Amino acid sequence: MAEGKVEFELVSPEKLLLSEPVEMVVVPGEEGDFGVLHQHAPFISAVRPGVIKVHNGGKVTEQIFVSGGFAEVTPARCTVLAERAVAVADIDRGAAEQQLRDAREDLADEKDEHDRDQAERQVAVAEAMMAAAIG
């Protein structure tokens, strides 16, 4: 691995999406965004819906929307296990808008507390995807 870089891996249930050394990766953690550099202190965090930003050459080189998951950080590696991941550039804005409308309708219809919690989660994911699509 290149000196001063951290190995970044992004994995979804379907496949390994990204595995490369990067200068820095910024992850949308449950408690707020966190940046990971080489020699970062180890920790584990839940990942909220949002955009992972990969930095190389002093700039953001990739942006990937994730719907949630978990991140594990070690001094040499950052691994994100994402529920779902899609490149921000590949987000279909019209489809994202429809997903948000549908999620809000489902939320309005839910009476059961558990189902309502699930619907609220889907609204949060859809809102984050729309925010990513808009930029």
Mean pLDDT within 27-44: 96
Q: Residue 28 domain-assigned?
A: yes
Bridge-based pairing state of the strands 77-82 and 6-11: parallel
Sign of CA dihedral 2, 70, 44, 124: positive
CA dist 135 and 125 (Å) reads: 15
Could you tell me if 31 and 75 lie in one domain?
Answer: yes
Could you tell me if 18 and 54 lie in one domain?
Answer: yes
Could you tell me if 116 and 71 lie in one domain?
Answer: no
State the pLDDT confidence band at 110, using cuts at 50, 70 and 90: confident
Domain count, the chain: 2
Which domain covers residue 105, as residue numbers? 91-134
The alpha carbon of residue 83 and the mean position of all alpha carbons in its chain are separated, in whole angstroms, by 9
Rounded to the nearest integer, the mean pLDDT of the chain is 93
- Which pLDDT score is estimated for 1? 54
Residues 47-83: tens digit of each pLDDT: 999 999 999 999 999 999 999 999 999 999 999 999 9
